[in-house]
Structure 1
Amino acid sequence: MDTGAQARAAVIAAELRGARGPTLIGVVIMTAVLIFVTLAIRPLAATPWPIDAWVAAMAMVLVGVLTLMVAGTLTDRPGRPVEPWVRGARALQSTMSALIVVSVWILLPPAGPDLRALMLMMYVWYIATVIAASSEASPMPARDIVVLTLSMVGWVVWDRPPYWEAWAVFLTMAGGTMLAFRRMIRRAVVAALEARIASETAEAATRAALATAEAARDAKTRFIASASHDLQQPLQAAALFFENAVATGDAAARARAVTGARAAFASTQGLIRQMLDHLRLEAGAVRARPEPVALGPLIAEVAAEHEPAARAAGMRLIALPCRLVATADPALLRRAVGNLIANAVRHAAGERVLIGARACGGTVTLWVIDDGRGVSAADAGRLFEDYAQGSDNATRGGFGLGLASVRRSARLMGGDADLDPRWTGGAAFRLMLPRADTVEALCEAA
């Protein structure tokens, strides 16, 4: 549906909701008119059956209007199709207009001169009221105004009551004026409704933008707090190791302190590198340079780099042999795989981490699967968001940037990254990349 059709549908839906009160008032007024016709005009008719038939037909139309209004109220919901209700409203409007046109020749003949003048004014009032209450869903067509005006003028010319010439001129002028008012009123009503809908849409967009900005602000606040905490830990450890190295006179103790200080500084360097990498990805400053990459050697090398950390955590890394070739940026892919392995080592609390790849069609899926505590349903949907960390205190740590960086890197390379919800014996993270397993790609990667 194009923008114009959407705007029209929104206008119609708004008018249908706003027309319920006026419609109910109109039904009450027309019911009073039917009672008036039955009590005041029917006794004057020599043959009352045409009046009875007309009253019965009008009563059926009013029942249809009430039924449509009640059904529309009970089924009202956002996004509801409006066309069935539009067709129903227009059918009832056309039927009522036809009955009003016919009523000129049924109700005026038996009425006396004074009553006829009153009824002619009531017809003019009816046109004005319907024009004011008409909507995009059930507008009063110009044709109906013209036909009703011609019907009244025709009867006046045919019956020639007192001052019939003045009546004919008055009714013609009234009909022409109503036609002009009809166009002006519709334009004003539609413009007002479109402006209101645009205002509500802009307000909703503003609220969404404010919510997004607040979420980003809160995330960055958490990031700053996390960065301050996580950077302090290795720096404090390095300071303690340095003090021990200076204070001790034992060479072996000094060597252990120096090794500990180096490890603390390496941890700090890793945290800073992770933060800078993510900020570059977030700012769009990183450009992928895809080329054929042999996944087997890359997986083995990255697993070897994380082997000491895994051993310290009591875990074993298993890199499966692989001959697949993916189209990727080697540096981005190495970093993404490293982040997935580091995430498993830090948070899984399991015994094994399996790293491998499988191909399906034109896609290569690289898996990092652990047999640890798994991911809760509450965390699964937001793990790849910026600064997101697990809700379980045991799984918290780091900046909450690793998985977000993995997904950004994957999408830069034309792929994606997510958590496989089917895995229940731990967590299975997957990195999807375009496949490049032609002979030329294999030779180039080699």
Structure 2
Amino acid sequence: MTGPETGKPRQANEYQRIRAAESRIEFTLAGLMTFLIAGTFVYVHLLFKPIVPTANLMAWTWSMGLVIFMLFLVPGIVLIRRPDDLEIATVWARVGSVVTALFDLAVASTVWLFFPHISEQLQLLMVVFFCATISAQVISTAEAIANISFGVVAIFGSTALFFLQSDSSYAVSLAVFLIAYGALMIGVALTLKYAVRSAIQSRLKAEEASAELVVALGQAQKARDDRTTFIAAASHDLRQPLQAAMLFFQQLSMNPKAHLRARAEDGVRQAFQEANALLDRMLEHLRLESGTMPTAICAVDLGPLISTLAAEHEVIARNAGIRLQAFGGSYRVRTDPHLLSRILRNLLHNACTHAQGERLLILTRRMGNRVRLYVIDDGVGFDENADACFQPYMQGAVARGKAQGMGLGLAVSREMARLVGGSLELDLRWTSGAAIFIDLPLLAEVRPKSSSRIAQAIGRKALANLRIIVIDDDEGARTALATLLGLIAAEVRAVGTLRELEALEGSPADLIISDWHLADGQHGDAAVALAVRKWPGIAAVFITGDGSPETLQTMSSSQIPVLWKPTNIDELGAIVGKRMTN
């Protein structure tokens, strides 16, 4: 059944579902009882045929025969058609009530058509049949109290009234008995009704709980499968660059030729950059799933941002045999510049790795009050399952053939685009490769300036002249980071515990870099709080390799910048430069 306005299938409410379940029970039992009624009908007809006037007998036979036919027909239709709960509750339950009322009237007519012409013994026999009829009705339709009450009044009321009008010596006693028996049957029906309804409600709740459990188990299974896929893909993909780095390291130690050693050094650096990019994508996926990805929406000029990213990927594209061109335009949009950069890096990385094309374009196009930022290549493009490639852990044919990547880049990029106020889609009109665009809200069109404003200190230069505190309970990581920072910063002091941090004396500090997980179950927020008490105004940065939702949520709420291991010194410098400027 459909709604009159929406045309959509209507759903039964809880009452209708219960009433439908009751009606199914009624139809089943009524169908079985009808066989007994039919047999009794034939017996009564044959018994009274020589006694009752033909006109009375035929009137009763036709009326009762028609009702018995309907008593067979209605349950049969319900059994064959198997209507839904809504149809049973709103249509067939009402039809069944009408047929039951007609049956009660046909039985009650027996009193006025037969009783004046038969003996007292046959009258008492018919009273027994009437009691059996009401009892059967209570058993088969206990939920229909209105029908049972109507039957009691119609059948027992007619019988009691007939006897009270007769001159029989037991008329009053019999009338009182029938009234009392009818009241008893109504009481029994009420008790059965509440018992049956309670049982049906319990059954429906159990079915709902079972259905919810099946859904929950399915979701748990999917989550487990996704996690297994994630771990397997991560393990495989991280082994690739780490294996390359190990081989390049062996070349460094074994090869005496300087130019080959320099090439091996570049190979090590590139392998670690690829491993770091893989870790970034995994971490972004976890942060998006846990809802802890921070955003900072502001006005962003697309021209400089696109130019920077194009320059960053120029060498990568050239090594892949691709000519990269960028046309940033002069549009200003409202978005998060960091996340938008991450999205574009993912798209450019995918194009350079999987497209197998010769040209790669970044361009912008105004569409009303929005701007579309396109990344277009002339490579192999997507197959007919293009939409699936935007789902987590799904890859295109080229990536699957290379056994390369985890299938997270496009899924992460689409979710990031939603966070920054836009959307990421595939332009299906482009058939010679792939055209993916990000749709962003336009703020204004700006003219390029002849001289840019003084930029904030970026990269490792932002760390120069700073007095830095490093706290990490891992001695190797602590020593490596402190030694590297010591080549740039004015002063670096490294400690492993909060007690050692408390004991530090001497010159003030400008920045504390704290691992999130510290010794004795302590966390980085305790280290930052202690440092702020010792050196008011000190800036702070967390570093961690823990991507669990609980940790992500806690760190996100602290409003302190977070760097994910393995830490890049230039990325650390960029974050510190922005933090110190603010």
TM-score interval w.r.t. the shorter chain? 0.7 to 0.9
Asked if 1 retains the 8 angstrom alpha-carbon contact of 2:20 and 2:93, the reply is no
Give the Cα separation in 2 of the matches to 1:428 and 1:16: 59
Query: What's the CA shift string for 1:391-439, capped at 9, x where partnerless?
Result: 7732642222223322332333455445567766555545455x24368
Considering fraction of residues, name the structure with more helix. Answer: 1
- Greater Cα radius of gyration, structure 1 or 2: 2
Give the Cα separation in 2 of the matches to 1:319 and 1:89: 75
Question: Does residue 226 of structure 1 match 2:233?
Answer: yes
CA shift at 1:262, angstroms?
0.5
Q: 1:401 aligns with which of 387, 394, 408?
A: 408
Asked if 1 retains the 8 angstrom alpha-carbon contact of 2:143 and 2:196, the reply is no
Other-structure match for 2:274? 267
Other-structure match for 1:13? 20
Q: 1:387 aligns with which of 393, 409, 432?
A: 393
Which stretch of structure 1 is more off in the superposition, 190-199 or 306-315? 306-315
Question: Does residue 163 of structure 1 match 2:175?
Answer: no
Cα gap change, 1:319/1:34 in structure 2, threshold over 3 Å: closer, same or farther?
farther
Taking only aligned residues, the RMSD between alpha carbons, in angstroms, comes to: 3.4
Query: What's the CA shift string for 1:300-344, capped at 9, x where partnerless?
Result: 544443444344334445545555554332222222233233334
One-letter amino acid of the structure 2 residue matched with residue 210 of structure 1: L
Q: 1:73 aligns with which of 69, 79, 82?
A: 79
Question: Does residue 140 of structure 1 match 2:147?
Answer: yes
Asked if 2 retains the 8 angstrom alpha-carbon contact of 1:90 and 1:138, the reply is no
Question: Does residue 59 of structure 1 match 2:43?
Answer: no
Other-structure match for 1:253? 260
Give the Cα separation in 2 of the matches to 1:325 and 1:79: 57
CA shift at 1:369, angstroms?
4.8
Question: Does residue 105 of structure 1 match 2:105?
Answer: no
Asked if 2 retains the 8 angstrom alpha-carbon contact of 1:12 and 1:137, the reply is no
Alignment: residue pair count: 438
* 1:31-46 aligned within 5 A: 31-46=38-53
Give the Cα separation in 2 of the matches to 1:60 and 1:322: 85
Give the Cα separation in 2 of the matches to 1:415 and 1:178: 69
Give the Cα separation in 2 of the matches to 1:103 and 1:50: 9
One-letter amino acid of the structure 2 residue matched with residue 149 of structure 1: F
Cα gap change, 1:38/1:141 in structure 2, threshold over 3 Å: closer, same or farther?
closer
1:108 is paired with a residue of what secondary structure? helix
Cα gap change, 1:303/1:29 in structure 2, threshold over 3 Å: closer, same or farther?
farther
Question: Does residue 281 of structure 1 match 2:288?
Answer: yes
- Identical columns (%): 34
Give the Cα separation in 2 of the matches to 1:78 and 1:111: 48
One-letter amino acid of the structure 2 residue matched with residue 243 of structure 1: Q
Other-structure match for 2:103? 96
Which stretch of structure 1 is more off in the superposition, 28-37 or 51-60? 51-60
Asked if 2 retains the 8 angstrom alpha-carbon contact of 1:293 and 1:327, the reply is yes
1:45 is paired with a residue of what secondary structure? coil
Cα gap change, 1:126/1:280 in structure 2, threshold over 3 Å: closer, same or farther?
same
> With structure 1 as the length reference, what TM-score do the two structures score?
0.85
One-letter amino acid of the structure 2 residue matched with residue 55 of structure 1: T
Cα gap change, 1:10/1:228 in structure 2, threshold over 3 Å: closer, same or farther?
same
Q: 2:185 aligns with which of 171, 178, 189?
A: 178
Cα gap change, 1:71/1:271 in structure 2, threshold over 3 Å: closer, same or farther?
same
Cα gap change, 1:415/1:32 in structure 2, threshold over 3 Å: closer, same or farther?
farther
Which stretch of structure 1 is more off in the superposition, 179-188 or 143-152? 143-152
Asked if 1 retains the 8 angstrom alpha-carbon contact of 2:104 and 2:154, the reply is no
Q: 1:22 aligns with which of 26, 29, 34?
A: 29
Asked if 2 retains the 8 angstrom alpha-carbon contact of 1:374 and 1:426, the reply is yes
> With structure 2 as the length reference, what TM-score do the two structures score?
0.66
Give the Cα separation in 1 of the matches to 2:331 and 2:260: 48
Give the Cα separation in 2 of the matches to 1:76 and 1:357: 58
Asked if 2 retains the 8 angstrom alpha-carbon contact of 1:389 and 1:396, the reply is no
Give the Cα separation in 2 of the matches to 1:294 and 1:272: 29
CA shift at 1:198, angstroms?
0.8
Which stretch of structure 1 is more off in the superposition, 327-336 or 346-355? 346-355
1:249 is paired with a residue of what secondary structure? coil
Q: 1:130 aligns with which of 134, 137, 140?
A: 137
One-letter amino acid of the structure 1 residue matched with residue 392 of structure 2: D
Other-structure match for 1:328? 335
One-letter amino acid of the structure 2 residue matched with residue 34 of structure 1: F
Give the Cα separation in 1 of the matches to 2:157 and 2:354: 84
Give the Cα separation in 2 of the matches to 1:90 and 1:271: 69
